[in-house]
Chain A
């Protein structure tokens, strides 16, 4: 009985990242890479993979050492862990996929300050044991990959007239320019709000979590 319950909660932790608490569409986290690198489906997918790798590894590590870190220096410690994995991901991309690494540019190192990772570390990994932390990070990571790939696909179809490099027709160049990114994401979130409305609609606050306990409520 207990086992079933554990499984159920684990399953819940996994699924929530895909839709209910989708990092991009519902929580509005990690907007900078979401908007910047989704000029094509493959770029969005690679960025999602890199971010998920860092998210999963750092969640696991933080969850393992969570009792050793004094709470005053926890943010700094989390950032060191995250930055280490980001360096690994960056070197891996540079070595094996130089073209993708070039296309993503400074947004690979900027995974360090991606609010999704710090947010999950603060909200989840620092309070749960390794397995739930891993499952939660996996769900959030896949949710992020999905969001970036969807956005990248839409912008690639409309902006370049291709899907993952195939298909050809007259493109609307605006969609791969910065303006198109904002507009596409705005429309997508509105559409998801519309779908959500049929069940239950909660207000989502458009801001990154402040990783410092205080301040968050005042800033709003």
Chain B
């Protein structure tokens, strides 16, 4: 039950992109084609789950026992950067087909603040191991959901007569605002 609440809360109610504003860059940058958005979402979800596992282990078995919480930011970001690099190399060797569809998105993920945000939030909330993994998975799926919804709308938007000065980023931001309002409708699902 506890896990279900964490899952729904991270995926829908407190959607990482639309409510927490984490991962806005890929949300604006890669959301013009549905297919691309889906691949990017899956790649991010994958890295998020891995990052949740690894940063939890580091936080609880290295930083906490040795009383080094001030090294949290430095160690988390290095681990995430090397993890992304490692995943990229691993996928390239094992599955060239998957690499072709995901590969180019992987380097982008290092600078995705959603990953570091995830690690920091689960450390802050003192989740246990299973909770962290569920949190990572849910956040990733929520990210994918937001990205795909946005991409779907933007594909339709190509045909719409957008005012000259609103083309590109401004109209995307305004749509994101409306989406965020829509997602607030879920707020009653879970309190807190």
Contact = CB atoms under 8 A, between A and B. Distances in A.
A61 B120 CA distance: 26
A207 B73 contact: no
Contact of A32 (B24, B30, B108): B24
Interface residues of A, number: 54
Contacts of A181: 21, 177, 180
Interface of B: 18-26, 28-30, 70-74, 77-78, 81-82, 104-105, 107-108, 110-113, 116-117, 120-121, 124, 163-166, 168-174, 176-178, 180-181, 184
A182 B71 CA distance: 33
Contacts of A79: 77-78, 81
B139 to A, nearest CB: 13
Interface in A72-89: 75-76, 79-80, 83-84, 86-87
18 contacts: A83-B77, A83-B78, A86-B73, A87-B73, A106-B121, A109-B116, A110-B22, A112-B73, A177-B180, A179-B180, A181-B21, A186-B170, A186-B174, A189-B170, A191-B165, A197-B165, A207-B29, A210-B107
Contacts of B110: 75, 113, 211
B188 to A, nearest CB: 15
B50 to A, nearest CB: 17
A203 B29 contact: no
A197 B72 CA distance: 45
Given A112-B116, A177-B184, A183 B107 contact: no
B173 to A, nearest CB: 3
Contacts of A177: 180-181, 184
Given A179-B178, A186-B173, A206-B172, A113 B77 contact: yes
A103 interface: no
Interface stretch (A45-53, A160-168, A212-220): A212-220
B113 A87 contact: no
A80 B116 contact: no
A219 B104 contact: yes
B109 to A, nearest CB: 10
Interface of A: 28, 31-33, 35-36, 75-76, 79-80, 83-84, 86-87, 90-91, 106, 109-110, 112-115, 118, 174, 177-183, 185-187, 189-191, 193-194, 197, 203-208, 210-212, 214-215, 218-219
Contacts of A190: 163, 165-166, 170-171
A80 B174 CA distance: 35
Given A183-B177, A215-B108, 7 more contacts: A32-B25, A87-B70, A178-B184, A187-B170, A207-B26, A208-B108, A211-B111
B173 A182 contact: yes
Contacts of A208: 25-26, 29, 108, 111
A27 to B, nearest CB: 10
Given A178-B21, A179-B184, A189 B78 contact: no
Contacts of A76: 78, 81-82
A118 to B, nearest CB: 6
Nearest to A36: B21
A83 B70 CA distance: 11
Contacts of B120: 106, 109-110
